[in-house]
């Protein structure tokens, strides 16, 4: 939240700096031509093309852009498949055009957009990368069953063991093994995409609310599908609560079931998006002040935040995975575990002991 407030302060303060009275009218007009808010929103939002960089001036320079496939269905015209380059610079094609990166029909009709956007392309790229990396890791385990890990296997094994021992075993208990594939998948999926988003021209995939919503819904489905009767008995008949308070407690507990994964969605989305906004805000200062004195400061702060985001990338993956494991652990705990509150702060040691 603090980083988000800093980002908003930077964005809101930029127009004030751009309209200093010491500037001439020509300089003010030139500065106002650059819109930091527009630039930031363009970089963190989804689009129908993948823009990597601009060489030279924004207006007359060379744009390194990869057009992506547009796949749209119109009830009146059927299916359309073409390159997004046909819609560049406000052009229209086959009765379709882009308005603020939303595909709309010129005649105002309904459009079903199934296009491969930048986020979708980044999702497919990260999925391919994960498959290649962990196929190599699995192959290493197959060839070297009893020996010390080598190559890429030696890098990922400590992380896998950490997720197993410190997250899954301690939070879920004896039944942790069946949930390890899901926990490892979300951990590495979030971590890889956080890192890819920090690369120049990278997509802000984990800063997309639809992606974090999907991850949260998957966690909710797995939690509810794994829940036992003791989990629901704690919701509908909370131990130690007078029966007169149950009409109040039951709705609160049911709301909590949904709010927990919702918090996962918002936390990941807000932290990753805020990090991108802060970095781009510092870079924007260079184009607003157009001063050699500002450039080193902006670059230094931007670089510092970027390095900090490398830590945030793995930290957010860890937090999402840990909380997911805790929610699952609360749903699968047995009757004797529930009575002793195993799965909470005081339950780490007993759960760990059962797992061993």
pLDDT band at 107 (very low <50, low <70, confident <90, very high): confident
Instruction: Please compute the mean of the pLDDT values over residues 61-70 and round it to a whole number.
Output: 81
Of residues 229 and 20, which shows the higher confidence score?
229
Q: How far is CA 93 from CA 78, 79, 88, 90, in A?
A: 14, 13, 10, 10
Cβ atoms of residues 213 and 205 within 8 Å = no
**Of the ranges 288-292, 327-331, 334-338, which one carries the lowest mean pLDDT score?**
334-338
> What SS3 class is residue 150?
coil
Whether pLDDT at 72 is above 50: yes
Residue 81 has a pLDDT of: 92
pLDDT band at 217 (very low <50, low <70, confident <90, very high): very high
Report the candidate in 302, 255, 253, 295 with the shortest Cα–Cα distance to residue 275. 302
Mean pLDDT of the chain: 81
Cβ atoms of residues 28 and 288 within 8 Å = no
Cβ atoms of residues 102 and 90 within 8 Å = no
pLDDT band at 334 (very low <50, low <70, confident <90, very high): confident
Q: Which two tokens stand for residue 220?
A: 């909710």
> What SS3 class is residue 320?
helix
Cβ atoms of residues 343 and 337 within 8 Å = yes
Q: Which two tokens stand for residue 285?
A: 């200062």
- For every residue of 67-136, DSSP letters joined together read E-EEEEEETTTEEEEEEGGGGGGG-EETTEEEETTEEEETTS---EE----HHHHHHHHHHHHHHHHHHH
Domain ranges of the chain: 64-113, 118-355
- For every residue of 15-73, DSSP letters joined together read HHHHT-TTS-HHHHHHHHTS-HHHHHHHHHS--SEEEEEEES-TTTSEEEEEE-EEEEE
Of residues 351 and 300, which shows the higher confidence score?
300
Find residue 74's DSSP bridge partners.
78
Asked whether the whole model's pTM tops 0.85, one would answer: no
**Tell me: the pLDDT tens digits for 245-294?**
878 888 888 898 889 989 999 999 999 999 989 988 888 888 888 877 88
Residue 355 has a pLDDT of: 38
Per-residue 3-state assignment (H helix, E strand, C coil) for 152-188: HHHHHHHHHHHHHHHHHHHHHCCCHHHHHHHHHHHHH
Phi then psi for residue 241, to 5 deg, are -100, 130
Whether pLDDT at 108 is above 50: yes
Cβ atoms of residues 171 and 163 within 8 Å = no
Instruction: Please compute the mean of the pLDDT values over residues 289-300 and round it to a whole number.
Output: 85
């Amino acid at each position: 939240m603090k980083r988000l407030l800093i980002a908003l302060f930077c964005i809101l303060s930029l127009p004030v700096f751009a309209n200093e009275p010491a500037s001439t009218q020509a300089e003010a007009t030139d500065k106002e031509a650059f819109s930091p808010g527009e630039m930031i929103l363009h970089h963190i939002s989804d689009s129908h093309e993948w823009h990597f960089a601009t060489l030279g001036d924004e207006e007359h320079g060379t744009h390194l852009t990869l057009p992506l496939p547009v796949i749209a269905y119109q009830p009146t015209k059927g299916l359309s498949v073409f390159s997004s380059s046909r819609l560049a610079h406000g052009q229209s094609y086959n009765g379709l055009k882009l308005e603020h990166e939303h595909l709309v029909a010129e005649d105002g009709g309904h459009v079903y957009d199934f296009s491969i956007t930048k986020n979708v392309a980044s999702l497919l790229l990260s999925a391919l990368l994960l498959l290649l990396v962990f196929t190599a890791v699995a192959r290493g385990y197959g060839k070297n069953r009893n020996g010390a890990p080598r190559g890429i296997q030696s890098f990922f094994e400590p992380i896998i063991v950490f997720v197993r021992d410190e997250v899954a075993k301690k939070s879920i208990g004896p039944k942790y093994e069946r949930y390890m594939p899901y926990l490892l998948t979300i951990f590495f999926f979030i971590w890889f995409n956080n890192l890819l988003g920090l690369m120049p021209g990278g997509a802000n995939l984990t800063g997309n609310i639809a992606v974090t919503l999907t991850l949260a819904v998957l966690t909710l489905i797995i939690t509810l599908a794994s829940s036992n009767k003791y989990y629901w008995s704690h919701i509908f008949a909370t131990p130690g609560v007078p029966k007169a308070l149950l009409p109040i407690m039951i709705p609160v507990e049911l709301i909590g079931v949904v709010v927990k994964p919702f918090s996962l969605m918002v936390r990941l989305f807000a932290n990753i998006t805020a990090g991108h906004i802060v970095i781009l805000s510092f870079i924007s200062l260079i184009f607003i002040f157009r001063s050699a004195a500002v450039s080193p400061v902006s670059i230094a702060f931007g670089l510092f935040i970027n390095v900090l985001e490398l830590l945030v990338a793995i930290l957010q993956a860890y937090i999402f995975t840990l909380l997911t494991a805790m929610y699952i652990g609360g749903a699968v705990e047995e009757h004797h575990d529930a009575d002793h509150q195993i799965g909470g702060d005081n339950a780490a040691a007993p759960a760990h002991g059962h797992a061993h």
